[in-house]
Homo-oligomer: A and B are copies of this chain.
């Protein structure tokens, strides 16, 4: 049983991904990253052990899942679950806030600004142990 600090939906969400890296993994998957090496190559220079840890935690939290391509294929392709794709509006608001409040940030790509949760092919997943 996961420990949540309180019943607050915000606090509980931050218990799952309240750190500097988890939402960047989700951001990059919204932008099309799916393999371990895609994610290792993000511009923020994530270290390999941090990436591996966050992928494991995001998977445990039911936000991403590994995709079985074929038996024996190299491991490490990921996709968003429905719960993970459900974070798109949160990230779009964060991007809007960053653009408006921090000088000289990159413009948000149109692909990101227009992304919608329902456009992501996701597994049944979502809640851990729900399938």
Binding site for B on A (CB under 8 A): 4-16, 18-21, 23-24, 27, 43-45, 83, 86-87, 89-91, 93-106, 108, 126-127
Task: Determine how close the nearest CB of chain B comes to the CB of A57; give it in whole angstroms.
Answer: 13
Residues of B within 8 A of A89 (CB): 93, 96-97
Closest to A16 in B: B102
- A9-B106 CB under 8 A given contacts A18-B20, A97-B86, A100-B86: yes
Q: Which of B9, B23, B94 is A102 in contact with, Cβ under 8 Å?
A: B9
Q: Are B9 and A97 in contact (CB under 8 A)?
A: yes
Q: Which of B7, B24, B94, B105 is A105 in contact with, Cβ under 8 Å?
A: B7
